[in-house]
Structure 1
Amino acid sequence: MRESLPLIGTPSGTHPGGRSAMTCRFRCGDACFHEVPNTSRNEYVGDVIAGALSRRSMMRAAAMVTVATAGASAVTVAGAPEARAVPGSGRGHGGGGARDGARGLRFTPVAPNTRDAVVVPEGYRQRVLIRWGEPILRGAPEFDPENQSAAAQAGQFGYNNDFLALLPVRGERGRWILVANHEYTDEALMFRDYDADAPTREQVEIAWAAHGLATVVVEEDRRGGGLSPVRRHRLNRRLTATSEFRLTGPAAGSALCRTSADPSGEKVLGTLNNCSGGATPWGTTLHGEENFNQYFANGSRETDTRYGIGTGAGARKWERFDERFDVSREPNEPHRFGYVVELDPHDPDSTPRKHTLLGRFKHEGATVRLTGDGRPVVYSGDDERFDYFYKFVGSERMRRGDSRWAREHNMSLLDEGTLYVARLSGDSPEIEIDGSGTLPSDGEFDGDGEWIPLVTASASGAVSHVAGMTAEEVCVFTRLAGDKVGATKMDRPEDIEPSPKTGKVYVALTNNSQRGRTGQAGPDEANPRVGNKHGHVLELTEHRNRADSTRFGWSLFLVAGDPEDPATYFAGFPKDRVSPISCPDNVAFDDHGNLWISTDGNALGGHDGLFGVATRGDRRGELKQFLTVPTGAETCGPIIQDRRVLVAVQHPGEVDGASVENPASSWPDGAGGLVRPAVVVVWREDGRDIGA
């Protein structure tokens, strides 16, 4: 039997998964403690749409007039170069030694644990690659938490790293551009004596500078698999909550996006709550703006339109220092957030773009594949209970080469094409989907689906496919469009990743404690458990394996939780040979075709971690835990290369009641140091390939 693990930081009021209430407050504005935004029955909702859009329509008209197992290892103080591991503790599922497992997964699995450390398998090393506050731009000072300033933070690595990408530096062998999202700030862990009711201007401006994106050149070690940052490289860059971004697509320039400071409706200051993302085949990166609603204050039912903007003061009180965060003064400012941002990491002078054609919602991320004739397809999930997942199919082909002409063309690929939302149906009798997670009589949860068009844009204009909504309205109120066409309500669709080996698409659905509650949607074959606290992973197969198809088949690849729970499923693999997993979040693939899953809010009592699972062959469904993260932390942004694994350790020490004065974690620098989010790189001691 697996040892019983204590819950960490889980008093009353805890997130229904395994997050602390503190994480809920700072990361998503207590989204899970608010009413579910999606109250639609996904039937005809013309009256709802008309009411929600009436004021917008009048504005538009006016504008027209004016124009670890035993043997696992950990490094508690990860700042020491190539520090040796110490034994992990605990027993768990996922048996088998380092030689056992699918290729790429041949390591001794880490057991579930609650250690304040990054715990990795026996025979592996780790190092902190870069921490919050490390200087990356010329002139930026060393990190000094007692004398921090907004100017200093704007030149330093930001807070709460999430999505990561590694792109080779052109012409510099052995060097990569590390691209990172800085999703949100936790001021209680950043500032001594922080008063949430009365933050200072300096604290707010430091928080603005700690949000956003970073590009940092890193170089490979001459020996081993480690990486080190190259400080002050010409490609290093910080983009913050006050940097300039450009709106593109149908909503750009519309009356819905115009503000007092930007009457053009095309220039936006900042990007907020960037969660996951993706790298494009043409060398750029995509970044999903997720819980943007929490930064705005003084909203109303009229100005919110299903996005969760509060009616009172904002949690961070930003509206006291910049009126654009006060919706009563600038009702359109929230319409300029909630998009997919595209960044060119190779051009530090470029202006990133927010692509409105990909829709406005709480984007967990955005991942790209190409059709057979070279057009982009982008998948994205809306991370909210009972919301939807989407696909964009471009109409223009990618151009090869690195000329300025080719780069400019490729940066516009996501502004022409069609945005779709998913509708799923099961193939089992309704009586067999009873909410318990028991498999139906055909042996799996599966069915068919269709991609429903919402809006199409081309060089000559944009057309809405949703009755009663213009193209601009579909792009700004995308959730309402999904409601109206009857999209399927999902259990928090997060990261979505197409397999480079098979073309199958994997959708991480983190959890949904509201499923089946009174007044909420009940279980269906794609979301088969009531009070779903552990989540699941859906496998989607496009019709004829064509990325641009409007039909697909689907099945549940994993139904997460303790393998000893009968309401779990691991693609048919024996459950006594897998690791327990809860709350899948970010996903990535290795070169062997294995899916790697990071978790957020583990509801089984252990810390969050990173898992690898085989998707093909006789070991399909074999899932093994590769690492765990420290107390209060979440595992984000996994990158799986042949000889190294990178993860973003986000919000370590974010446990209820924690503060600078009363830390809940000593990671990564040990006792006496400030708790700091960081990126960790892991490699094998013998220098060979991961899991091979």
Structure 2
Amino acid sequence: MSSPTDPGRRLLPLLTANHPLGRQAVTCQYRCGNACSHEAPNTSANAYFGDVVKEVVSRRGILKAGAVVAAAGAGALAFSGTAAAAPVDVDLDLDLGLKFGRDRDGLNFEPVQPNTLDAVVVPKGYQQDVVIRWGDAVLSDAPKFDFDNQTAAAQAKQFGYNNDFCGLVPLPGWNRWLMVSNHEYSSEEFMFKNWDANNPTEEQVKIAWAAHGLSVVQVERDHRSGKLVVSKDKRRYNRRITLTTPFEMRGPAADSKYLKTSADPSGKVVLGTQNNCAGGVTPWGTILSGEENFNQYFANGDLVTDATAKARNARYGIRGTASTRKWERFDKRFDLTQEPNEANRFGWVVEIDPLDPTSTPVKHTALGRFKHEGANVIVARNGRVVAYMGDDERFDYMYKFVTDECYMPGSSKRAREHNKRLLDSGTLYVAKFTGDSPASEIDGTGKLPSDGEFDGSGQWIPLAHNDRSFVPGFTAEEVYIFTRLAADKVSPTKMDRPEDVEPSLRNRRVYAALTNNTDRGKPGKEGATEVSPRLGNKHGHVLELEERHSDNTATTFSWKLLLVCGDPNDPGTYFGGYDKGQVSPISCPDNVAFDSRGNLWISTDGNALKSNDGIFAVPVEGRHRGFVKQFLTVPIGGEACGPVIEDDFVLVSVQHPGEIDGASANNPLSHWPDGGTSQPRPSVAVVWRKDRRKICD
């Protein structure tokens, strides 16, 4: 199963290039409302701070005089690794000739080659299976899935559509967990035969509402086979959260006038969550989930008559008249001319407690409102909890939140209730990055500056602390609800779609996936900067950030680019200083995770190298730092999401398999996971070693 030439595996044509990246146009339509076909919402004129510094002093002068330290309050990091080797020829369709061996990082698998198979392809010596698929039972009384006879009532009890983030919360006993999956968006063209986009039925719309949200499913490791399976006889924790599930608004902006609607004059009770992308597991056993491309679900942004409200909506990409899915025809809350505040009730980090199936999920206003890819936390050395977040939009920002109160260790009821309130109060920050190389050395090609790497320093700029705003002209509630506009005022650094941002619990550094930004350098757009060094960036990069003195509550940091992604044959790529002749090609990093040895694992979204998306592993320490190896690929048209890296297995969420331009429920071009002539179904897959040894051995 490790080679594209394995018998029984159907090799499909390379993905078409209808989108400037590798993603299919139909996916862009349903997932983000064709965001890249519209003007980026950030039209602020804030300049990259590094350009100002670099025009007046050289890098040596900065280091000698300490000017960057004085300006940004952080020193430079020192990492092992050599300058990038000279490029070598790599043919994506041929054997990469990758070298691998046993090392302390434990990444000893034979890399999977790029391919366009309609299968989950794993390394030699590994096997894979499906844990759960769209429509499988979550609740005990769920009916069997019937593609041609779906109902909203059935879907509300079944695994939802387009699962993204996946997290495991351990249960007492041997190898038992609660698996929590986000269901990011619905792709109606692939869910219903004879789909009429102009005339959806009310039942189809309600099925889509039920297909959004999250699923909580108890799973366990099968003792005989080694695979992960859904527990058949213990479903008391299992739960579906949908677009009609009540959520509690909490934190400093709860009950704001901007959150009140005719259905909820309190501003504290919201129905549902949508477009949930990435997320994280907290130390107290809850799940954080990010509401991302919520803007596309709301109609008639152009018809809003209040100029201030219209401008605020535009900054969040809310525009146009009728929505793609036409939900406004069946619920007025999706029509902004009737419920102008409803969109303000989405775009938050939500928290659910899978260990309490009767609990009310929470939307945390203290963490700000934007297109949250997700949120991941770490307990700082002083006990306070720090959450890191990315706003997944071209030219938008990275954020962090530091709690006022400290984490209480233990699993007692008192400790859990205390910890579940931690995200209600604290300080919200936005990031400003400064490069340490002369501006003339950042030419937009990805060529390394003379010091051999893209790196620098930075600072966290405070936006608000509870009821206090640090942004002139904004009240605290305005900072939290219109975070993008407030951040614009303090001139943070424009990034290339900051998606998953996650701290390593081993080295306390923070790793951010910057997926891509083909608008960088276009007329009227910001050009190359040291933290975003390529014009027309279609492959993305991975950022490594270290807080001053490894204190995650610090307001200054150092940073460097661990990876500048793409074909290793391209001189504008960089792999942590590792020999580029050895690495796997990687494009469009999206989600990140860590194994128990501290290696970074990366899933991709929209591979612009015309191969299927996949999961990659890379050491961040030692002599193999930057040695990227592909661990698996997902089926044609699919996206690799939500990787979970356990010692004994890996979970991958296979999102939108078969979502290919020209395909539909009437014309499926993928038949994964069930084969034959079946419809493709988003699913969670598990991968494990045939010899039952650890993944990193």
Are 1:8 and 1:632, in contact at CA under 8 Å, matched by a contact in 2?
A: no
CA 1:7–1:31 in structure 2 vs 1: closer, same or farther (change >3 Å)? farther
* Percent identity of paired positions between Structure 1 and Structure 2: 61
Code of the aligned partner of 1:198: N
CA 1:661–1:6 in structure 2 vs 1: closer, same or farther (change >3 Å)? closer
Code of the aligned partner of 2:284: W
Shift of 1:43: 6.7
The 2-side partners of 1:124 and 1:6 are apart by 23
1:269 aligns with 2:278: no
1:437 aligns with 2:439: no
1:404 aligns with 2:406: no
Q: 1:27 is matched with which residue?
A: 31
Shift of 1:107: 0.6
Shift of 1:93: 3.3
The 2-side partners of 1:614 and 1:43 are apart by 34
Gaps of 5+ in 1: 45-88
Q: 1:218 is matched with which residue?
A: 219
Shift of 1:410: 1.1
Shift of 1:7: 7.0
1:495 aligns with 2:500: yes
CA 1:317–1:93 in structure 2 vs 1: closer, same or farther (change >3 Å)? same
Cα distance per residue 1:536-565 (max 9 Å; x no partner): 001101000000000000011000000010
Code of the aligned partner of 1:530: L
Gaps of 5+ in 2: 5-10, 49-91, 303-309
Q: 2:197 is matched with which residue?
A: 196
The 1-side partners of 2:509 and 2:225 are apart by 33
Are 1:94 and 1:623, in contact at CA under 8 Å, matched by a contact in 2?
A: no
Partner-residue secondary structure (3-state), 2:431: strand
1:313-462 correspondence runs (5 A): 313-457=322-466, 462=467
CA 1:6–1:429 in structure 2 vs 1: closer, same or farther (change >3 Å)? farther
Which of 602, 610, 617 is equivalent to 1:605?
610
1:571 aligns with 2:584: no
1:37 aligns with 2:41: yes
1:56-67 correspondence runs (5 A): none
Cα distance per residue 1:91-125 (max 9 Å; x no partner): 3436125x445533101000001111100000001
Partner-residue secondary structure (3-state), 2:632: strand
Are 1:94 and 1:578, in contact at CA under 8 Å, matched by a contact in 2?
A: no
Shift of 1:412: 1.0
1:481 aligns with 2:482: no
Q: 1:512 is matched with which residue?
A: 517
Code of the aligned partner of 1:635: A
Partner-residue secondary structure (3-state), 1:648: strand
CA 1:439–1:7 in structure 2 vs 1: closer, same or farther (change >3 Å)? farther
The 2-side partners of 1:6 and 1:205 are apart by 34
Shift of 1:517: 0.4
Q: 1:10 is matched with which residue?
A: 16
The 1-side partners of 2:26 and 2:227 are apart by 33
Shift of 1:153: 0.3
Shift of 1:385: 0.3
Are 1:94 and 1:624, in contact at CA under 8 Å, matched by a contact in 2?
A: no
Shift of 1:408: 2.1
Code of the aligned partner of 1:18: G
Are 1:224 and 1:683, in contact at CA under 8 Å, matched by a contact in 2?
A: no
The 2-side partners of 1:256 and 1:93 are apart by 55
Q: 2:117 is matched with which residue?
A: 115
Partner-residue secondary structure (3-state), 1:334: helix
Code of the aligned partner of 2:295: N
Are 1:94 and 1:579, in contact at CA under 8 Å, matched by a contact in 2?
A: no
Q: 2:82 is matched with which residue?
A: none
Q: 1:77 is matched with which residue?
A: none
1:659-678 correspondence runs (5 A): 659-678=664-683
1:184 aligns with 2:185: yes
Shift of 1:401: 3.0
Code of the aligned partner of 1:31: A
CA 1:7–1:131 in structure 2 vs 1: closer, same or farther (change >3 Å)? same
Q: 1:254 is matched with which residue?
A: 256
Shift of 1:139: 1.4
Shift of 1:8: 3.7
Code of the aligned partner of 1:10: T
Shift of 1:302: 3.7
The 1-side partners of 2:478 and 2:14 are apart by 43
Cα distance per residue 1:381-439 (max 9 Å; x no partner): 00000000000000101123333332222111001110000000101111111101100
TM-score under structure 2 length normalisation: 0.90
Q: 1:49 is matched with which residue?
A: none
Q: 1:233 is matched with which residue?
A: 235
CA 1:348–1:317 in structure 2 vs 1: closer, same or farther (change >3 Å)? same
Which of 275, 281, 285 is equivalent to 1:283?
285
The 2-side partners of 1:308 and 1:94 are apart by 45
Partner-residue secondary structure (3-state), 2:148: coil
Shift of 1:9: 3.9
The 2-side partners of 1:635 and 1:6 are apart by 18
Shift of 1:305: 4.0
The 2-side partners of 1:211 and 1:101 are apart by 42
Q: 2:175 is matched with which residue?
A: 174
Partner-residue secondary structure (3-state), 2:301: coil
CA RMSD of aligned residues (A): 1.6
Code of the aligned partner of 2:126: Y
Partner-residue secondary structure (3-state), 2:546: strand
The 2-side partners of 1:35 and 1:280 are apart by 36
1:96 aligns with 2:99: yes
Partner-residue secondary structure (3-state), 1:396: strand
Are 2:312 and 2:485, in contact at CA under 8 Å, matched by a contact in 1?
A: no
Shift of 1:375: 1.2
The 2-side partners of 1:25 and 1:380 are apart by 24
Code of the aligned partner of 2:411: D
CA 1:400–1:392 in structure 2 vs 1: closer, same or farther (change >3 Å)? same
Q: 1:146 is matched with which residue?
A: 148
Runs of 4+ in 1 over 4 A off after TM superposition: none
Code of the aligned partner of 1:538: L
The 1-side partners of 2:97 and 2:104 are apart by 12
The 1-side partners of 2:645 and 2:620 are apart by 15
1:651 aligns with 2:632: no
Partner-residue secondary structure (3-state), 1:587: strand
Q: 1:52 is matched with which residue?
A: none
The 1-side partners of 2:174 and 2:95 are apart by 42
Code of the aligned partner of 2:594: F
Code of the aligned partner of 1:444: E
CA 1:7–1:584 in structure 2 vs 1: closer, same or farther (change >3 Å)? farther
Tell me how many residue pairs correspond in the alignment: 638
Shift of 1:325: 0.3
Q: 1:86 is matched with which residue?
A: none
Cα distance per residue 1:291-325 (max 9 Å; x no partner): 00010000133451400112210000000000000
After TM superposition, the structure 1 stretch with the greater mean CA deviation from structure 2, 34-43 or 319-328, is 34-43
Shift of 1:10: 2.2
